[in-house]
A and B are shown apart, each in its own frame.
Chain A
Amino acid sequence: MTWKTVLTVLAMAGLSMMYGPAQASSRWDEIVSKARGQTVYWNAWGGDERTNSFIDWVGKEVQARYGIIIRQVKLSDTAEAVSRVIAEKTAGRDDDGSVDLIWINGPNFLSMKDKHLLYGPFTQLLPNYRYVDTESKPSNVTDFTIPVDGMESPWRLAQFVFNYDSARVKDVPRTIPDFVPWAKAHPGRFTHPDVHDFMGATFLKQALIELAPDRQRLQQPATDADFEKETAPLWAWYDELKPLLWRHGQQFPANGPAARQLLNDGEIDLSMSFDPAEAAASVESGLLPDTVRTYALSGGTIGNTSFVAIPYNSPHKQAAIVVANFLLDPATQAHAQDIRVLGSFTVLALDKLSAEQRRLFADLPTSPALPTNAELGPVLLEPHPSWMTRITDEWMRRYVK
């Protein structure tokens, strides 16, 4: 199923290219000309200042190039945008919704795709989609095991990493089981974000992948029996770890940036992020001390892709499509990978680019806090979203009294 749909998308993309560049480009020109003057309400999680600034920069660029205005709707949770579209569908607003573009992936994408709240497939319309790495970066076409089917367009890669302050600690846990002895040696000096936040949930998923008896099982939707069997070692491990956490595991930072703040304040020695360049960029912008270092676990860590999707009732679909295409522009991707900007790794395949375009990436500045690709190790696939939902619910059931 997965591969079939991937192939369909690829075939469609291929077809649109084959049908003569003239036809494709005239269709594209039509989109671009309709997009002029439209305002794109881009709903994006607003908790990260650098992303907000990047979106702001995108807004300036597309205004200059295409006459499109971007208004970022800063969400404290992407689910807000999903529920807004649902509310609009409820009220019968099928053609003038309030959301034009959503920064989305995983469970929110599954939810919107299942409920037919998305416009598409549209990625085959994007001229820049041909640069996207659809082979060695599988998360670009399979979002949390869900086939993307052209219903969302990738724009940045994320990989789960840990950050520590090398001025305070030297040894760090390299595997999930290592966390327990490490926390015993450093009680109260580590925590994970709240499990309702994707970062906290990702930490538990990472642990699940390493501890589950049958890792492959996690790629299918969870069932009651499987869930109990596969997560039993996770809970045994977590029961040991929890009392050793910051605030004795009674309280958790709200999200990744809140955990980063704790690291900066010296409240903890080890935190996590979903962006290998975040620490380097944070040092650059004064948010972390320059002694912070980033690493991944020895068996690899979870990686995924951030996408943008267009709701079915967006009144400015053309402009949203143009923005999605702009995000895939090699120059945009190189700008985003600059640690002074976002530092997020590109979704493009460098070997599909021209030498000139490749140089944009090679010329980017580096930092001691920035890990190399080799240090990051293998990228593990996200489990099916049902595991995440269930882990969160089970965590609540077990630990919230």
Chain B
Amino acid sequence: MDAALRQIRVRIRGLSLFPTGLRPWHMVSAIVFGVLGIPIAAGLFLTVLPAFGYLPSIGGEALSLDPWCELFHTPGIATSLRITVTTGLVATLLALVLSFSFCAVVHGRMRDRGAESFLAPLLAAPHAAMAIGLAFLIAPSGWLIRLSNPWLTDYTVPPDIASVHDPWGIALVLGLLVKEMPFLLIVILGALNQIPVGQQMRAGRALGYGQGVVWIKIIAPQVYAQIRLPVYVILAFSLSVVDMALILAPGNPPPLSVVALRWFMAPDVTRYLPAAAAAMLQLLVVVAAIGLWRFGEQGVALIGLWWMTRGGRGVTGEPGLKLAAAFAMIGLALGLGSLVTLAIWSFAWRWPFPDALPSTWSLEIWGRQAHTLIWPLANTITLAGLATVASVFLSIAWLETGDRMGRRRQTAVFHPIYIPLLLPQIAFMFGAQVLVLKLRADGTFLAVAWVHLLFVFPYVLLALVDPWKALDPRYARSASALGASPAGTLIRVKLPILLRPILIASAIGFSVSVAQYLPTLFVGGGRLATLTTEAVAMASGGDRRVVGVFAFLQTLLPFTVYLAALIIPRIVFADRRALSGRT
């Protein structure tokens, strides 16, 4: 009944707005789908064809299954597939469990703002930089062992254990965890703001439930319902990550995404075909894993329902939660430690094993790299700036036209707009490369900025949707009632109130752009060097001190933008407490 009524209402609204309201909405969605949809669709299409043997330029004229045969006959392909699936699923599951436990234990003891600034460097650090730092940290000759050496251990030479590039992919899981957990924490903290946690906690405690049980039984399900999209994004990302895998995952055989990348980059062009097949397999793996995850959700929901209705109380959940929270803390500490190691290496001259700190410090590496840094740095900043500004404009246009249309449609959690975040990049980057080559736009600034936009825009939108929805509509109504035009209302009322979330969304967009590796590599044709492409190219064996310089800078840049996003509202709204973000 309710649903039927709602449908009728939607239809009526659609009809009544048809002559005037639909036009800007159509325009904005046409722009968004043109900007995002065309390259993705073309990229996918131009990758699917070679996966089935069709690539006329290298003599593949007829459709066939040969590329798939070649793919499945590759030595170690089963292991590659297994590593991809296990690392992706385990990393996501662990990130989820640990983040929830962490929030359960610290929520209420820590203010959101405090958490934000504590997590900012971890959020800002690109995946590649984090992976490089983590490898410095946990390697058998890494900082952890060097620090523990005189007291705990007694190594004159590093132990012969595989703590990085290990055959099970544990280092990769750890890397993903360290990077995804902060993201999930921010998302969960955001979701918690939508729930009267304190009230429910008091109610639960009054009914005799332990604090941990209230978290698991009452609060977690409500939070999870809100954060499903980010969880899927993490799952898809973890399954198909390339730059982190190059630095942390095993190499013989490597995960599937690296198999595909190696073939795409091989001198023998005929390898394009199995590469495309591998990219398609990667896509299937992601789709299947999301399906499996959904299936798992339903299972957990069923069991959870039975468990909840059983009504068990008590405090048995507590030690487990605390332990998980402790692990989460260790993960976050590892993340921060990784970033510190980057900085130390960049200022070291000689740092032989097993010294806990460099034996000679020097600014020489920074000085020597200064002029090689300039271009990648300028490219990184300009690309990120362009992509972020365009994304913020598009997001505001999207949300504002949505407001004028009546919301709902374009802010749905599983809107197609988020597809770029769920698709493995390798599955459409080769096709995108062919497309830009055909357009003769490869290696141009605009092409790379455009492909960055594909990933920056959804993140910016994701970050902006909730604050935008949460904005009290009475402000806009009052403004209209006082005679302000819709544009005036937007510029003079809504945007200033939303300044803080807009800046945060920009900072997220900026760091997403800085972190892009594969899109920059493929569409930039290698000619557009960014800090990330340089750092990854050097990470495999390059001079650690130089890698340290690049990776440290790569982290510092988005971090500065984050800090600016936190500080600017305080300055602009120094006299308006509620808008400045101080609580």
A-side interface residues toward B, CB under 8 Å? 41, 43, 46-49, 52-53, 56, 71, 73-84, 86-91, 93, 96, 98, 107-108, 111, 168, 188, 194, 196, 246-248, 250-262, 264-267, 285-287, 289, 396-397, 399-401
- Expressed in whole angstroms, the Cα–Cα distance for A88 and B349 within the complex equals 42
Chain A residue with Cβ nearest B139: A265
Given A98-B525, A196-B262, A267-B141, A251 and B165 contact (CB-CB distance below 8 Å)? yes
Given A49-B546, A246-B160, A74 and B537 contact (CB-CB distance below 8 Å)? yes
Q: Note all chain A residues with C-beta closer than 8 A to B160.
A: 188, 246-248, 267
At the interface, yes or no: B158 with Cβ under 8 Å from chain A?
yes
B436 to chain A, nearest CB (A): 9
Q: Is the beta-carbon distance between A88 and B541 smaller than 8 angstroms?
A: no
- Expressed in whole angstroms, the Cα–Cα distance for A41 and B375 within the complex equals 14
B514 to chain A, nearest CB (A): 18
Q: Find residues 259-315 in chain B having any chain A CB closer than 8 Å to their own CB.
A: 262, 264-269
Main secondary structure of the interface of B (DSSP, over half): loop
B138 to chain A, nearest CB (A): 13
Q: Note all chain A residues with C-beta closer than 8 A to B267.
A: 78-79, 82-83, 107-108, 111
At the interface, yes or no: B6 with Cβ under 8 Å from chain A?
no
B478 to chain A, nearest CB (A): 56
- Expressed in whole angstroms, the Cα–Cα distance for A364 and B187 within the complex equals 60
Closest 4 CB pairs of A and B: A258-B541, A90-B57, A265-B141, A257-B541
Q: Is the beta-carbon distance between A71 and B265 smaller than 8 angstroms?
A: no
Q: Is the beta-carbon distance between B542 and A111 smaller than 8 angstroms?
A: no
- Expressed in whole angstroms, the Cα–Cα distance for A73 and B79 within the complex equals 33
**Interface size on B (CB < 8 Å)?**
61
Q: Is the beta-carbon distance between A56 and B372 smaller than 8 angstroms?
A: yes
At the interface, yes or no: B67 with Cβ under 8 Å from chain A?
no
B41 to chain A, nearest CB (A): 19
- Expressed in whole angstroms, the Cα–Cα distance for A71 and B156 within the complex equals 43
- Expressed in whole angstroms, the Cα–Cα distance for A288 and B162 within the complex equals 22
At the interface, yes or no: B228 with Cβ under 8 Å from chain A?
no
Which of B140, B266, B354, B529 is the one whose CB lies under 8 Å from A79? B266
Q: Is the beta-carbon distance between B541 and A49 smaller than 8 angstroms?
A: no
Q: Is the beta-carbon distance between A98 and B251 smaller than 8 angstroms?
A: no
- Expressed in whole angstroms, the Cα–Cα distance for A262 and B139 within the complex equals 11
- Name the residue in B354, B440, B442, B543 with the highest tally of chain A Cβ atoms < 10 Å from its Cβ: B543
Q: A47-B537, A79-B266, A88-B437 are in contact. List 13 more A-B contacts (CB 8 A).
A: A46-B534, A47-B540, A56-B371, A71-B375, A74-B526, A98-B442, A246-B160, A251-B251, A258-B541, A266-B158, A267-B141, A286-B349, A287-B543
Which of B156, B166, B540 is the one whose CB lies under 8 Å from A258? B540
Q: Is the beta-carbon distance between B158 and A260 smaller than 8 angstroms?
A: no
Given A49-B546, A259-B541, A400-B252, A76 and B157 contact (CB-CB distance below 8 Å)? no
Q: Find residues 539-555 in chain B having any chain A CB closer than 8 Å to their own CB.
A: 540-546
- Expressed in whole angstroms, the Cα–Cα distance for A377 and B141 within the complex equals 35
A204 to chain B, nearest CB (A): 14
Q: Is the beta-carbon distance between B266 and A71 smaller than 8 angstroms?
A: no
Q: Note all chain A residues with C-beta closer than 8 A to B266.
A: 79, 83
Q: Note all chain A residues with C-beta closer than 8 A to B253.
A: 400
At the interface, yes or no: B69 with Cβ under 8 Å from chain A?
no
A/B interface sample: 5 pairs, CB < 8 A = A49-B546, A250-B162, A266-B156, A396-B75, A396-B76
Q: Note all chain B residues with C-beta closer than 8 A to A247.
A: 160, 162
Q: Note all chain B residues with C-beta closer than 8 A to A286.
A: 349-350, 360, 545
Q: Is the beta-carbon distance between A74 and B534 smaller than 8 angstroms?
A: yes
A285 to chain B, nearest CB (A): 8
Q: Is the beta-carbon distance between B526 and A265 smaller than 8 angstroms?
A: no
